[in-house]
Structure 1
Amino acid sequence: MLSSVEINKTAINTYKQNTVERGHYNEIIRYTDAEGVAVSASKIMNIFESVLPETFVEFDKKMRGDSLNLDLYGYDAEQGVAIVQIRHFYKRYAKGFANIHKDYVLVGQNEITNEFFRHPVSPHAIHAAIRKNPSDPKAAVRAAQRWMWKVTDKQLDASIRQGDVLMVPSKRPSDKYVRVDEVTAVVGGSHEVRSTEMYARTEDDEIIDVVAWCPTVVHTKGQHDPIFANEERFYSIRVAEEAATWKWGVRLGD
């Protein structure tokens, strides 16, 4: 039989693990922070309202029309990012079938300009993470980030992020990469990689991936702080993948 102390420890550990209350479709209804303060999902989503579409319900007497709803699926308070589902329900004919389009987006805020961004991510990665760790609000966020940059949890923890670009510790590049003659290269349209030894992989004459020795990455639009290698080694500079999306979830910001 457990002692009262052991029972209390078990109760505390269980409480710490259950930081979210989820609904029937695994959406977050209520989030509980480290201090035990409960916050509603709608209050969290209000933080990111500038990059989320406005919800609405518009149907006629024959139930033809559209509605748009938002649900919270993940939240990382330390990173200041969330995973939101954008659900578009529509019906065009009175006797026809209803249709549903769903987008999942990672939303957050740039650290310098404080502008908000929206990035479409994989629903499969999100739901797989929730099934594995339903009580962890960060699970869906980390799953989306692993998917975006094609990294493991260990790589994600060892990496340095700048907007939608991630600096990942790497081995010396393979033969798929070509040595870059210059000391700078731009990836993702606005992230300038600086290094004395740099290799690139291209697609349709566009740089899609860079491996560089002890690099620095500067954001040319000035929306993010510069990031620096914290070891003398090669790093892979990766641009985040974007999921296919309907019109309500297209990418906004950087």
Structure 2
Amino acid sequence: MLTALTVKKHERRKGIKGLADRLRRDRAVVKIKRARGVYLKHITYISYGRKPRFEKLEKIVGDSKNRIICSPKIKFESDSKFKRFENSDFSARLCTNLAICLLSMCDFTEKLKIGIYDLDGRESEFLPYVMKYSSDVTVVTDCPDVYYDENELVMENMGACSVVTKRTEELEHCHLIIAPHTIEKTFSSNENTLILTNGRPKAELTGEVYYKYYFKMPNGFDRIKPQELETEYFCSALYSLGRQYSLGSIVPTMCSNFSATQTVKSLYAMFESLYKNSAKSADEN
């Protein structure tokens, strides 16, 4: 069973009613919700004091103490037994699914240079899906052995293999760079590069960077989602904790970055334009 926590701060009234509020004890309301085979224990903590006393919830939360689904606005003490659920696997799938969708629309894939930026080597199984569209693929990773194994399978099945390296400089001439997890360090790219990643990058990058994805939540799950939670975060919990792996096939309908939002169609048009600009620059040089 998944466990979600909502905190509601009771506004203190003035006068005698305010005195009565100060004497009231915090309380928790628990509701069990179900959708598509997933059970969610939704705890609403109503606080009358200045600071929530989460230790009171220990028995109610039970074994879910270190994976509580809640808003990032809820802060647990560093030495607390409670931790907010965080996992990027589902968001990584949104990133890679959009990339594959984009590649499936291209009529110039045989000329594309594609980069996969996966330092932890967590997305090696994604490699054959990319190489279905282009044989010019460069993987930058700190775990090359994982990709060597995947490369052997690709070679057996497709007769091609990717370049696997730790050198980020190898990404400089890529038309598309796919980084399924948050980018924390800068790497080489160019102004005509489209970069799809997961979460706002923590380093400055050259090119068109998109990292936020939008999609429609499957029917039913919207009924149990706490109102204050983002759809992507809640689906991440359903995917990782609730084993709703079918969510991993979702293709985003839109994406955004620091200042712009694109539909899949407009993103493809931009990508095609970037590719043509890159080809033109290469011809001039």
Q: TM-score range by the shorter chain?
A: under 0.3
Q: What is the TM-score when the length of structure 2 is the normalising length? A: 0.22
Q: Look at both structures and tell me which one has the larger radius of gyration over its CA atoms.
A: 2
More strand by share: 1
